[in-house]
Amino acid sequence: MFSKRSLPSISFLLVVGLANCLLSACASSLPVPVVPQQIEGGVEFSLVLPNVQSVAVVGDFNDWSHMAHLLAREDGDLWSVVVPLSAGEHVFMFVVNGEQWVVPPVAEDYVEDGFGQKNGVVVVR
Amino acid sequence: MSLVMAVVPQVSQAASLPAKDVQDINQLGQARGHAPESINRLLEHAQQAIDQGLPERPIMNKIKEGLAKGASPERIQPVVRDMVGNLRDAREVLRDATSGSAGQEGGGNSRATEVMAEALSRGVTVDEVRSLGRSRGQGQVDQEALAFGAKGLALTKEGGVPVADAIPVVGEALRQGFRSKELLDLGREIKKRGNEFRADRNRIQDIKKAVERGERPDKIFDRDRQSGSGRGGGGRESRREDRDSSKEFDRERSGEKDNRSGGDRDRNRIESRDRIDRGRESGGNSDFQRDRGDRGGDSSGRGRGGRND
C-alpha cells in the first residue's frame, strides 16, 4: 500500500500529529500569567487555570500554608485573591488543588528556592 | 495527638527559638510523617544561628517552606546549613567593611545580615562585596546600604552583566546615596534588560553615567516616559489602567485559547501580556519604555515608603 520511501514521511507525520495532540492537551492546563498587582488593601494575586478545584497563594507571608489565602474563582477560569502584605519583598508560589505547586508564570523577579524550584518575588512599595 | 505530645517536650531543646515557629514546624513535620528527631536536627541549625547571634527568622522560614513543599528533612538540611553559613559570612563581611564606623560594630543589624546573606546565596562573593565597599569610596560605610548594594549587585550579575562592569555602577549608586529600594530597583531593572546589556557593553556605562549625575532608577529607566501615566501620581487611576490591561489581556487570551500548543506558546503569552501592559503604560514610544516591567506595584504604590526606604 505504501512504498518504502513514503513510510518515513508518514511516520514523521504521525509523530508530529501525536505530539501536537499531546501538547494541546497539556497546554489546556497551563497557567496563564497575570502579574501580582498592588491595589488598595493589598496585593492581588491572579491566575487563570481551567479545570481546577482550588488555588492558593503561599509564601513567606503566610508560612507557606495552602490554607491561608485561597483564591476565589472570579470569572470563568480566573482565580484571584487580595492579600495584605507589608512593604518589602515577598516570595510566593501557587498551590493548585491543595497539592500541586506551581511556579508563578510571571513575577517581578524569581529566586531559587533551594529545593529545585523557583519562587516568584513580589515587591510591595 | 499522641505524636504532638511526643514532639512537644523536644521543643525545650530549642528553647530560645520562637515557640510558635517551633510548634508550626513540628506540626508540619508531623503532618508529613517525618520523625521528630529529623525535625529537631533542622531546628538545631536555627538554634546554632541564635547561639551565634545570627537572625534565625530566615532559617525557620526556609524549614517551613521546605516542609510545606514536601521536601524531606534530609533535603532541607543542606539548604539551611548553607543558609547559616551565608548568614555567618554576611555578618563577617559587614563587620569587616564597616569596622571603624561609629555605631556599626557587632554586626547587630539583622536585616542587613539577612539581605547580605541573600546576596551571597545569589552568587555575590565576599571579595566582590569588599570591592563594592572600596568602590564606594571614602566616608562612613553603612551596613544596610552595603547589604542592599550587594543584593543589587547580585541582581545585576543575574542579568548577565560582567561583575567588573557591575561593581562600579552599584558602587557609584552607593556613593550617590541611593536608598535601599533604589539599589534593588537598579539591580532589578538591569536584570530585566539583561539581553540589552549583554548585547551592548556600553549600555552599562550609560547607566553608570546617569547614576553619576545623581539620577535614580525610576528616572534612568523611565526617562522618556510622559508624566501622568501613573508613576507617583496616585494609585487609583493607574490601577484602572492595569485592570484595563488585564481585561485586554484576557480578551486576547480568549481569542487564543484554542490555539495553544505548548510551552513556547505559553512563554509567548507571557511576553505578549508584558507587551500589552508596557505599551499601555508608556504609549509604546521607545524600546526603553517598552522594556519596562509590568509592575502593578510600581504604578500604584510608589512613594508610599516602607521597609526599603
A54 touches chain B (CB under 8 A): no
A105 and B266 Cβ atoms separated by less than 8 Å: yes
pLDDT of residue B157: 94
Sequence spans of domains, chain B: 1-93, 128-221, 233-248+278-302
Closest CA to B181 of B297, B61, B55: B297
| Interstrand relation of A72-75 and A37-39 (parallel, antiparallel or unpaired) | unpaired
| pLDDT tens digits, one per residue of A17-45 | 445 544 444 445 554 467 899 998 999 99
Task: Select the more confidently predicted residue: B24 or B280.
Answer: B24
pLDDT of residue A77: 85
Among chain B residues, the shortest Cα distance to A61 is held by B61
Which residues of chain A from 73 to 102 reach within 8 Å of chain B, CB to CB? 78, 86-89, 101
Q: Look at chain A and count its residues.
A: 125
Cell of A125: 512599595
Please say if the pLDDT value at position B192 is more than 50: yes
Decide if B296 and A63 are in contact by the 8 Å CB cutoff.
Answer: no
A88 and B308 Cβ atoms separated by less than 8 Å: yes
Among chain A residues, the shortest Cα distance to B235 is held by A39
The per-residue DSSP string of A83-114 comes to E---SEEEEEEEEETTTEEE--SS-SEEEE-S
Section B280-308 average pLDDT: 32
Section B164-178 average pLDDT: 93
**Which of the given ranges, A8-22, B96-110, B130-144, B181-195, has the highest pLDDT on average?**
B181-195
Contacts of A57 in chain B (CB under 8 A): none
Residue type, B260: R
**Which of the given ranges, B116-125, B219-228, B293-302, has the highest pLDDT on average?**
B116-125
Sequence spans of domains, chain A: 1-30, 37-124
Contacts of B191 in chain A (CB under 8 A): 109
Rounded-to-10 torsion of CA B247, B251, B253, B255: 180
pLDDT of residue A33: 61
Q: Tell the burial category of B296 from Cβ atoms under 10 Å away from its Cβ (0-12, 13-18, 19+).
A: buried
- Write the residue in A39, A48, A60 that is nearest to B61 by C-beta: A60
B116 and B90 Cβ atoms separated by less than 8 Å: yes
Distance CA B82, CA B64 (A): 16
Task: Select the more confidently predicted residue: B28 or A19.
Answer: B28
Out of A10-24, B8-22, B191-205, B256-270, least confident range: B256-270
pTM of the model: 0.69
Sign of the CA dihedral with B176 first, then B180, B182, and B183 last: positive
Among chain B residues, the shortest Cα distance to A92 is held by B65
Among chain A residues, the shortest Cα distance to B75 is held by A115
Please say if the pLDDT value at position B173 is more than 80: yes
Alpha-helix residue ranges (DSSP H) falling in chain A: 6-27
> What is the pLDDT of chain B when averaged over all its residues?
71
| pLDDT tens digits, one per residue of A80-111 | 999 999 999 999 999 999 999 999 999 999 99
Section B13-17 average pLDDT: 61
pLDDT of residue B16: 82
Task: Select the more confidently predicted residue: B203 or A31.
Answer: B203
B204 and B165 Cβ atoms separated by less than 8 Å: yes
How close is the nearest chain B Cα to the Cα of A112, in Å? 8
pLDDT of residue B108: 55
Q: What angle do the packed helices B36-51 and B73-98 form, to 10 degrees?
A: 0
Please say if the pLDDT value at position B92 is more than 70: yes
Q: Where are the beta strands (DSSP E) in chain B?
A: none
B301 and B235 Cβ atoms separated by less than 8 Å: yes
Helices and strands in chain B: count of H runs, count of E runs = 17, 0
Residue type, B285: N
Among chain B residues, the shortest Cα distance to A109 is held by B188
Which residues of chain A from 2 to 41 reach within 8 Å of chain B, CB to CB? 20, 23-24, 26-28, 30, 32-40
Contacts of A41 in chain B (CB under 8 A): none
Decide if A27 and B260 are in contact by the 8 Å CB cutoff.
Answer: yes
pLDDT more than 70, % of chain A: 74
Q: Quick one: A37-124 is in which CATH superfamily?
A: Immunoglobulins (2.60.40.10)
pLDDT of residue A34: 72
Task: Select the more confidently predicted residue: B176 or B248.
Answer: B176
pLDDT of residue B256: 36
Section A33-59 average pLDDT: 90
Contacts of A89 in chain B (CB under 8 A): 184, 308
Contacts of B110 in chain A (CB under 8 A): none
